[in-house]
Structures are given as structure tokens and as C-alpha cells.
Structure 1
Amino acid sequence: MKHILKRLIKIVLLIALVFALGVGAIAFFAWQRYDGFADAPMTGIEAGETLVVEPGDSLPKVLRTLAAQGVEVDALHWRLLAKSTGAAGKIQVGEYALEPGMTPRTLLERMRDGKVLSYRFTIVEGWNIRDLRAALAKATPLKQTTADMDDAALMRALGRGGEHPEGRFLPETYLYTRSDTDLDVLKRAATAMDKAVAEAWAGRDEGLPLRTPYELQTLASIVEKETGIASERPQIAGVFVRRLKVPMRLETDPTVIYGMGSSYAGNIRKADLRTDTPYNTYTRDGLPPTPIAMPGRDALQATAKPAPGDALFFVAVGDGSGRHVFTRTYGEHQAAVAQYLQRYRQQQAQAQ
């Protein structure tokens, strides 16, 4: 009897051992398969594809979206990996890049950390508000919310009711995501301009003929439009600052062009210089009522700290370099203008 009992015990132990080995083997192979899944490139992804996680999307919904885009999905493995990476219940809303060779672990970690795909929008130095709004309307996939707003309504939507929109947005490159709106970008640009103007004003030279930060911003917009090459900004600012001190009229063509609005056809005539508008600095003293463009940081700083000197005039060299000739007297200026016109006629003759 004892012999039979011992034999039964051995059989039971053997069966248990075989079962344990079988379970272990199954677990081992399952783990190998899972581990291989977590760090293996996902199938079915092509360059340029993205995954959009909408508000309220759960992991199963995200997996269905991936499957619909051609990615092979094992829901159990994805759920286990989400738990092990801490992504379970923490997937953030947004658009995520799907790159060939990307692994499930990488994608889940990005969704856990909210590393969403971002896009760039650049405001160019010297743009006016029409340029800015036209470019912003073409930015994709930015959500467009301001197309039906006039400039006054736009400024109210930005919390800046009553402010003139010109010159209010700092030329820089701004990042945005698919969930952002055009107003979001403009708010950041307006805040950045406020800060840049405040910094320039705080560091300005003593004795500038400018009473407010807004006047500095207005003059900087003229400097921006008159600048052919960046290194000349402080010199051009110096000319205008000295003219304001004399006082002399600024007599700068970009302000006239701005005042002409849509009637400007690419050429400014003597009659235009004599036609009075609030922005015609040939017919009116001092600064125009508002900026005429978006001044960049360098133009603001140059206006706050203009180059010293005695020049009151400048004219383009006319050699295509964007450089200017700076002169002290009207006679010197007339001679420089004559040289410019001579070069211009020579270029026209060669072109013909």
C-alpha cells in the first residue's frame, strides 16, 4: 500500500512538474512575444502619417484608429504595455507623428507625455496687418476662427478692443498644434510684442524725442521698412531721431505708401507725396498716428539706441546691395540722389 501511495505521489509530482514547466514555457514564450512586440517597429506606417487623439478618446478607441490606418494591433499586448509604461488612463489629446520604424513603446510614451506634433508659423519683419492676416489664413492645420472678423473685431477678440492692429504682433516663428486657433497664435505674438517694446523702452538712450513706448514702436516700424540691410538699422534710426529733434519732417516714402492703402500700385509719384493723409510725413510733422508695419526686435532696439552722428539724409546706393548713402546737408543729399539716378538709368538701359 505504501509502495502504491509513493508511486502515486511521484506521478502527481511529475504531472505537477510537467504542468509547471508547460505553464512556464507558455509564459516565457508569451513574454518573449510581448517583449518583442513592445520594441519592434509597427507595421503599416508610411512617412507623413499622424495619429489624432480627440478629447474623450480611450485606449481602445485609439487602437481602433490605428487599426483603421493599417497598423497591426494586438489589443492585449497594447493594454499590458500601456500599464507597464504608465500610459494607461493618461493618454493626452493631440496629434502625434507616426514614423516608419516607430515602436509601440515609443508611441505610448509620447501619448503619455503629450509630445504632440507641432507646426511653425513665421511673422516676417516688415509685414503689415493685411500681410499677416493673409498668411495666417493659409496656415494649416491651424483652426481658422477670424476670417469673418474685421480688424476692430479681431482686436476685441484678442482682448485689445480699441487698439489699432498695425505693428502689434512681433515678427518671430511661433509653434502651434492642430488644436490651436489663429487667435491663439496672435495672442502669443501680441504678448511677445508687448514684452519686446517694454524691453526696448526700458533700455532706451536718454534724450530721445519719443514720449511713449508706442511712439518708439511707431518709429521702429518706419526704420524696419526703410532698412535694406540689417546693419544699417541704427544709422537709419539715428537720422529719424535727429530729424525729430531739429525738428524736420521725416519725409519717408513707406509712410506715404501705407497711407495710400489699396490705391498703391507699386510706384510712388510726386503727386502722391503732395497728397495729404494722416500718414504722409511729407505733408505732416512728427510721427504718423500708428505703426506702419510689424517691427522686429532689432528695429526696436535700434530705435531705442540709435547710432550717433550728424546725418540728416539718406538715399539708396542703387547698386542692388540695399545699402544707403548717409549725408549731413541737403546739398550732399542732392549729389547722392543724382548718383543714384545715374546708376538707375544705366541699369535700365542695360536691361533694355
Structure 2
Amino acid sequence: MSENRKKNSALKVILIIILVVGLAVAWIGYRAFIASSIATSEEYFYVHTDEPYESVIKRIEDEGIVKNPSYFNYVARAMDLQTGIKPGRYKLSKDLSNRRFIGNLRGGYQEAVPFRFQNLRLKENFAGALGKNFEADSTTFLNLLNNEALAEKYGFNKDNFFLMFIPNTYEIYWNTKPEEIIDRFSKEYAKFWNADRKAKAAALNMTPEEVSVLASIVKGEALHVDEMPEIAGLYINRLKRGMLLQADPTVIFANNDFTIRRVLNRHLTIDNPYNTYRYKGLPPGPIMMPSIASIDAVLNYNQHEYIYMCAKDDFSGYHNFAKTVAEHQVNARKFQQALDARNIKK
């Protein structure tokens, strides 16, 4: 009996050891594979195109992305991450486990960038916004925006290529190639210029590009969306009569000085095709990126007989409109006096 007791005691000890070891292995497995792993407060982790596996693993450790880099490395090897990591913008959350995180990296299950843009004045501004939101840098995008051959491919030229980019919100993957992003905007432009908008442009005897150039001037003039159709109607009246547009925003653009608050005679003398005080008709391209509201304001302009306008002297951002020079001079004098009262000289 004594010998049997010893054997039973030894067996119990072995079973206890096996149980403890099993529980320890299960606990480690749970911590390594299933438990929440993310330690950083960063919202996204970025894997660059053609970035070596070793670099990604090192950054995950150096940037404190996960709680236990050793566990992460073990699971990464177990899931063969080194043979299948994909570039992209990956969402991080506190409940994300190593297994899910690595599965996303292997499968390329990234989250798209909700890219929204508006109120951009220059190509450089747009290139900067693209470079900030996507993997390629702003210089790469600016070179594409200035590429004459690329512009012609889509039916534009270097001066008006900026018109192809309709301000809105777009879902685009972070590591999408720059050329593919440009192509995406071409498709969006084609959707925007549907049959209805094209018919309205044709009724104005204008191309979509010409409508958009005028819309950029309307956008430059209007601080309030509800006034855009009125302003658009004024410029259309001037075009129909063969008058100079004499739009101050085009003068500011031609002078390349966006600090100008008061357009003076010296600003009007610049010999530049964007100066609509000297050159009749529309300028060769937009003076800023037109908004959807400004484009639709041109297409749905208010029909009236106004050919002059001047900012109101209450600085509300609205305008006084006039049919005659005499009426306009009264409005202009009030505004000039208001500028003088505020000591706005330039």
C-alpha cells in the first residue's frame, strides 16, 4: 500500500505540473494571440510601399504600438507575416489583438482616407493637401498637376487642369498611386458633369471648362453662397455684351498677392491674361478651385439686368448691384469711404 500511495502521489504531482504548465501555455497563448494588444494612442499605423518587413517590425516596437513586442513577434512568425505584409493605413483600437492586427496587415484590410477638400486657391495648395493625406509627397502630386501631357490626356491643358478636381469628400486608400488618384478624379469629374449640367452649359454657349472658370471668379467674389447666382448673372450679362469682366479677384490673382484687400489703380496695370480689367472674356484658367455651389450658381444664374456691383459698406460680405454707371458710382463711393474710415489702404 505504501508503494501505491507513493505512485499515486507522484502521479498527482505530475498531473498538477501538467495542468499548471497547460494553464500557463494557454494564458500565454491568450495574451499573445487573443488579448487586446495595442498600447499606443495613435489612431492609425502606416506601412509604406516596399517597406521591408524588418523595418515594419522595428517601428512597431520603437513607436510603442503594441504592449508586448515579444508576443507580437512570436505571433507574426506563427502567422507567417514576413511573407505577406501589405502596405496601407491600418486602423488601431484598444481592443485589437495581435492576431487581428497581423491578419489586417497580411490581408491588406486597411481603412480608406475620407479625403475632403474645398476653398483651395492654387495648385500648390491642392498638392499640399494630397501630400498630407496620402503616401506620395506633395512634390510628386504638383509635378502631375503641372504635367501638360497628363492634362491633355484628360482633355485639359496646363492652365485649366485644376478644374478637373471637384471639391467633395472621397474615400481613397492611403497608398494609392498618385496617377491612380488623378484618374479617380477624372472619373468623378465625368460623373459630376452629367447630361443636365452639360445641357445648361450648352444653353449658355459655354463649355464645362468655361463654366468652371467663371465659377472660380464667382467663388472669389462671393462670401455667401446665396448671392452666387446673382453675381453669376452679372458676369454673364457682361460676357453677352462683350464687356470686360473687371473682376477684382482676377486682378489679385494676376498680381499674385493675396494680401490685397483694396484693389488700386496700380494693381490694374499688370499685363497678365488673368487681369480682366485689361483682357476681355474669361481668363485662361481658374483663379481658384471652384466649388460645386459656384458651378451650379453659374448654370442656374439669376436673370437680371445688373452689370455693376460693389461690396456693401457694412462689410457684411454682400454686394450692392446696379444697372447704370451712376448708380454704381454712388455704391462705390460709399464703400471707399467705409474703407477709408477703417484705414484700409491696400
> By the TM > 0.5 criterion, same fold?
yes
Kept after mapping to 1: 8 A contact 2:233/2:301: yes
| AA matched with 1:48 | E
| AA matched with 2:343 | Q
- 1:132 corresponds, among 126, 140, 160, to 126
TM-score by length of 2: 0.73
Following TM superposition, by how much is the alpha carbon of 1:211 offset from its aligned partner in structure 2, in angstroms?
3.0
Kept after mapping to 2: 8 A contact 1:233/1:299: yes
Residue matched to 1:4: none
Q: Kindly tell me: are residues 56 and 286 of structure 1, through their superposed partners in 2, closer, same or farther at Cα, counting changes over 3 Å?
A: closer
Following TM superposition, by how much is the alpha carbon of 1:282 offset from its aligned partner in structure 2, in angstroms?
2.8
Question: Structure 2 CA distance, aligned partners of 1:175 and 1:249?
Answer: 41
Question: C-alpha deviations, 1:255-312, integer Å up to 9, x for none?
Answer: 2333x34478735332443555433333343322333221111111111111233322
Residue matched to 2:300: 305
| AA matched with 1:204 | K
- 2:98 corresponds, among 93, 97, 104, to 104
Q: Kindly tell me: are residues 273 and 57 of structure 1, through their superposed partners in 2, closer, same or farther at Cα, counting changes over 3 Å?
A: closer
Kept after mapping to 2: 8 A contact 1:155/1:162: no
Secondary structure, counterpart of 2:252 in structure 1 = helix
Question: Structure 1 CA distance, aligned partners of 2:258 and 2:119?
Answer: 20
Higher Cα Rg, which structure: 1
Residue matched to 2:197: 201
- 1:270 corresponds, among 250, 255, 265, to 265
Secondary structure, counterpart of 2:343 in structure 1 = helix
Question: Structure 1 CA distance, aligned partners of 2:83 and 2:8?
Answer: 43
Q: Kindly tell me: are residues 339 and 174 of structure 1, through their superposed partners in 2, closer, same or farther at Cα, counting changes over 3 Å?
A: same
Question: Structure 1 CA distance, aligned partners of 2:77 and 2:142?
Answer: 48
For this pair of structures, how many residues does the alignment match?
Answer: 336
Following TM superposition, by how much is the alpha carbon of 1:251 offset from its aligned partner in structure 2, in angstroms?
1.9
Unaligned runs of 5+ in 1: 1-7
Residue matched to 2:314: 319
Residue matched to 1:3: none
Q: Kindly tell me: are residues 46 and 313 of structure 1, through their superposed partners in 2, closer, same or farther at Cα, counting changes over 3 Å?
A: same
Q: Kindly tell me: are residues 245 and 92 of structure 1, through their superposed partners in 2, closer, same or farther at Cα, counting changes over 3 Å?
A: same
- 2:229 corresponds, among 224, 228, 234, to 234
| Range with bigger deviation, 119-128 or 283-292 | 119-128
| AA matched with 1:171 | P
Following TM superposition, by how much is the alpha carbon of 1:93 offset from its aligned partner in structure 2, in angstroms?
2.4
Question: C-alpha deviations, 1:306-349, integer Å up to 9, x for none?
Answer: 12333222211132321112233333222222222232233339
Kept after mapping to 2: 8 A contact 1:146/1:182: yes
TM-score by length of 1: 0.72
Alignment of 1:48 onto 2:42: yes
Kept after mapping to 1: 8 A contact 2:127/2:138: no
Unaligned runs of 5+ in 2: none
